[in-house]
Structure 1
Amino acid sequence: MPDSSDLLYAKLLGETAPIRWEELQPFFARGALLWVEAEQDLVAVATAVARDDQAQVGGWLRSGLLARVEEARAEDLLARDPSLWAVVVAPWVLVQERAPVTAS
């Protein structure tokens, strides 16, 4: 039987979706938008936030791998309109820039 962490991860994975910056702007305005750096697993970070894993989340916050979206990043996202991936862990929306698809 899978443990609750596996089930939560699977649930959040199923709730991730591509999104445009335009759709995220209201969450940014409310201060409810968290940026997840590209080297992190977005769903793993969302799982830790949902489980209130203060040690793990605090470590990411201190290292800058997880942060509130600041105005400079918001302006960059508005200008570039990159492909983003997001998941909601109320009251937060976690967002990450999707890596560009490269031809092999």
Structure 2
Amino acid sequence: MLQSYFDFQGDQSPDEYRSVCTAINRMVADRYQDYKLKAHNHLKAHELSHLYGELSSENLQKRIDFFTSPTFVLRETQQMQVVSNGVSVDKCAIAKEVLGD
């Protein structure tokens, strides 16, 4: 599936793709910090929607299709998972790692 992403984009190397993923991961971590203050570590559905909106409004729309790829997936479920570089962890583990506490 990752190869089909590069076939579709054509002009991006794997290193460029990884750097974009890293940048998005940092943006998401920053948003988690914001939500820790605003929502006491609880991400609600409308907050996740707001997060998606902010990310896509950052002029990254043409590169953000990896939200549906195996490298980066956010799910609004009880056991929300963040899958990045083949590593999957649940929401509590992400909150502890990203937010501390």
TM-score tier by shorter-chain length is: 0.3 to 0.5
Of structures 1 and 2, the one with the larger relative CO (CA 8 A, separation 6+) is: 1
In the superposition, the TM-score normalised over structure 1's length comes to: 0.32
In the superposition, the TM-score normalised over structure 2's length comes to: 0.32
Q: Pick the structure with more helix per residue.
A: 2
Q: Pick the structure with more strand per residue.
A: 1
